[in-house]
């Protein structure tokens, strides 16, 4: 059983940067595929990026966001650059032992989310 805790959200102006962190505990972190999802008000939770043996990104963030992990620290990161107002959402960290996936149902473990707000 893995527990995930996100941090690093906040308010930033368009064009700015933020780095989100997700600290994991209670499992063998290196065995998990880790992902970031986001959910804007009134919208479905959507895939942002994931990292197993390789990394994948949603088209909307490709070239601007970078997912990385430090297995020694049991932490996954999301570096977000060139932020846009449409990136405003609650960002969730997720994990699975089941390999790479791009849908919410693929992931068994979720953090509580961290708010990212990008002002224009």
Measured in whole angstroms, the distance separating CA 73 from the mean position of its chain's CA atoms is: 16
Task: State the greatest distance between any 2 C-alpha atoms of the chain, in Å, as a whole number.
Answer: 40
d(CA 11, CA 110): 23
Residue 24, pLDDT above cutoff 90: yes
Are 108 and 24 a contacting pair, CB within 8 Å?
A: no
Is pLDDT of 1 > 90? no
Percentage of the chain modeled with pLDDT above 90: 95
Report helix, strand or coil for 71. coil
Query: Closest Cα to residue 79, out of 37, 24, 25, 21?
Result: 21
Predicted confidence (pLDDT) at residue 27 exceeds the cutoff of 90: no
Q: What is the pLDDT of residues 43-92, one digit of tens each?
A: 999 999 999 989 999 999 999 999 999 999 999 999 999 999 999 999 99
Q: How far is the C-alpha of 1 from the C-alpha of 84, rounded, in Å?
A: 35
């Amino acid at each position: 059983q893995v527990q995930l805790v996100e941090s690093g959200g906040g308010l930033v102006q368009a064009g700015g940067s933020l780095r989100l962190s997700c600290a994991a505990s209670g499992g063998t972190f290196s065995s998990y595929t880790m992902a970031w999802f986001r959910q804007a008000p009134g919208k479905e939770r959507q895939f942002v990026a994931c990292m197993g043996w390789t990394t994948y990104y949603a088209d909307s963030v490709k070239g601007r966001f970078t997912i990385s992990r430090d297995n020694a620290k049991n932490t996954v990161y999301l570096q977000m650059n060139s932020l846009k107002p449409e990136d405003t959402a609650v960002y969730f960290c997720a994990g699975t032992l089941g390999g790479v996936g791009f849908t919410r149902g693929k992931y068994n473990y979720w953090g509580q989310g961290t708010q990212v707000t990008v002002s224009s």
